[in-house]
Amino acid sequence: MTNHLYDALIKHQVNPDARFLLIDEPGRPGELSYSVFAARAAQIAHVLVDHGVSPGDRVLVQAPKRTDMLALYLATVQCGGVFLPLNTGYTLDEVTYFINDATPVLVICESHKSEGIAPVAKTMGATMLTIDKDNTGTLQSLADSKPGTFTTVARGPDDLAAFLYTSGTTGRSKGAMLTHDNLLSNAETLVDLWRITSKDTLIHALPIFHTHGLFVAVNTCMLAGACINFMDGFNLDTVLEALPRSTLMMGVPTFYTRLLTDERLSPDAVSSMRLFISGSAPLLAETHDAFSQRTGHRILERYGMTETNMITSNPYEGARIAGTVGMTLSGVDIRLCKPDGTAVEDGDIGMIEVRGPNVFKGYWNMPEKTAEELRENGFFITGDLGQIGADGYLRIVGRQKDLIITGGYNVYPKEIEDLLNDVPGIDESAVYGVPHADFGEQIIAALVPMPGAELDVEKVRSGIEASLARFKHPQVYKIMEALPRNTMGKVQKNVLRANHVESAA
Ligand code: AMP
């Protein structure tokens, strides 16, 4: 029997005894080989099947980052199910929405959440099990007594392997349906491009409910037979301590800004490192430059999203250009379009549309949404605005929904943010539009000063006004201690807009 994704990740491992995970978990050894991990996944697959999971069934999980959570991913794929991990920060109300929408056969959470979630699962006819930090959850205990081999269920390239819900910053969160080949084709391309091999050890400090930490990081390493240093989350001391024993890191921009605050980040500390990768949110050019000055490493920035996996990457060999997300991955097509779907002139800003084996199958239960965003010719409308320079590199100009239209003019927040971020004393900024009776929208600039810096807002204002056309001038400047961000480090402009509207009211 062949299982497109499982076979590639595990069955064809060249050396099953190679180290796969470095962990620090109660009651577990510090290192697990590929074969030990595969046996654990097989034990869990038995539990899934015992609880009614058949091919195509959703296995919904909101659980801490543990080996068993990762083994549950592999187990679900092995028994033909659809893995559906949820952000651990979601509240009971949010989890209720996901259970009702996805109608899973099995719901898995931490014991302390089970009292709240159980009635919801029951109403939807789903069984409940638990995964706990101390590895004593019901799923974990049941798995302990199961055989370490499982007859893999056949699944083809087009069968579903996972649903990831989008972060839903506007409207309802949507379940992106990802197939075995969406995941495998993308991981194969990245392994090749980023030269990942069995000699690599990855610093893994990302969550595993998101495409970055789960598919980009884990699938690539498994395909290559690499080792993963599997950390609970990003802890500066733990990461700095691991650097000298690692070769690879995948992170969000905040990992890099946090590393830069520590004097221990030095050329010596990174002497065994081969590659630092950043994505999920824009990496400021100044972070890129500061990191390269401090360590000699040019961070490789890439771009992708839940629905499409990875789309572009800066090159492994060749110039990694700050402020760009590089070039289209092999096998993937992109085009920049006007709202009517026709291509923009070379060098102009347009909506990024993407097509390829990486692009998802649509949104679960939302045929209209799918039809709005996935064209019949296979191009997916990302919602991101981009521009391709004469150098052929893609620059992300912002999200379409963050575009400000004021007095009939289009204003791209990033253009103003880039100028603000260069002002001495400004650590970071966010520019956004709020409703305005005359102009349609007015421009607000939120500024975060560097620690200890006293910002003179009038000076900032006059500097910006000297560099930009009048219609791009922010009308209001606000000083903030920090910008609101989600777990993946993305600035939540919807929160900024809502706070503004609320305080104005
Ligand atoms: P998600 O589906 O949570 O992975 O979010 C995808 C969105 O993150 C994209 O549509 C972009 O808006 C943003 N994004 C991802 N990588 C980058 C990057 N390197 N630079 C700028 N934005 C990015």
pLDDT in tens, 432-471: 999 888 788 999 999 999 999 999 999 999 999 998 888 8
Q: Is the CB of 164 under 6 A from ligand 1?
A: no
3-class secondary structure, 418: helix
Examine the pLDDT at 324 and tell me if it is beyond 90: yes
What percent helix, strand, coil does the chain show, rounded to 5? 35, 25, 40
Our CA angle for 190, 192, 193, nearest 5°, is 65
List helix spans (H) across 23-137: 34-50, 67-78, 92-102, 111-123
- Average pLDDT for residues 30-49, to the nearest whole number? 98
User: Which of 278, 380, 490 most suits a substitution to test ligand 1, by most atoms within 8 Å of the C-beta?
Assistant: 490
Ligand 1 centre from 177 Cα, in Å?
A: 18
R_g (Cα) of the chain, nearest Å: 23
- Average pLDDT for residues 475-484, to the nearest whole number? 95
Q: Is the CB of 488 under 6 A from ligand 1?
A: yes
Are 478 and 447 in contact by the 8 Å Cβ rule? The answer is yes
Examine the pLDDT at 223 and tell me if it is beyond 70: yes
Task: Say what percent of the chain tops pLDDT 90.
Answer: 86
Are 51 and 61 in contact by the 8 Å Cβ rule? The answer is no
pTM to 2 decimal places: 0.91
- Strand 380-388 and strand 350-355: the pairing is antiparallel
Distance, CA of 483 to CA of 445 (rounded, Å):
11
Q: Is the CB of 137 under 6 A from ligand 1?
A: no
Ligand 1 centre from 314 Cα, in Å?
A: 15
User: Which of 170, 329, 396 most suits a substitution to test ligand 1, by most atoms within 8 Å of the C-beta?
Assistant: 396
pLDDT at 209: 95
CA distances 383 to 205, 352, 386, Å, are 28, 7, 10
Closest by Cα among 395, 415, 429 to 321:
395
Per-residue confidence band for 170, with pLDDT thresholds at 50, 70 and 90: low
- Average pLDDT for residues 269-298, to the nearest whole number? 95
pLDDT at 169: 52
Are 387 and 348 in contact by the 8 Å Cβ rule? The answer is yes
- 17: Cβ–Cβ under 8 A, 6 or more apart, which residues? 33, 34, 35
As given in the structure block, the two tokens for residue 340 are 């009517």
Per-residue confidence band for 233, with pLDDT thresholds at 50, 70 and 90: very high
User: Which of 167, 186, 212, 384 most suits a substitution to test ligand 1, by most atoms within 8 Å of the C-beta?
Assistant: 384
Distance, CA of 147 to CA of 143 (rounded, Å):
8
121 vs 501 pLDDT, higher one: 121
Distance, CA of 460 to CA of 370 (rounded, Å):
43
Per-residue confidence band for 348, with pLDDT thresholds at 50, 70 and 90: very high
Q: Which amino acid is at 115?
A: E
Q: Is the CB of 211 under 6 A from ligand 1?
A: yes
Ligand 1 centre from 265 Cα, in Å?
A: 26
Mean model confidence pLDDT for the chain: 95
Per-residue confidence band for 501, with pLDDT thresholds at 50, 70 and 90: confident
pLDDT at 467: 87
386-439 pLDDT tens trace: 999 999 999 999 888 888 988 777 888 998 999 999 999 999 999 999 988 878
pLDDT at 393: 98
Ligand 1 centre from 279 Cα, in Å?
A: 7
Examine the pLDDT at 257 and tell me if it is beyond 60: yes
Ligand 1 nearest atom to the CA of residue 164, by list position: 2
The residue assigned the tokens 């959703």 is 58
Distance, CA of 225 to CA of 227 (rounded, Å):
7
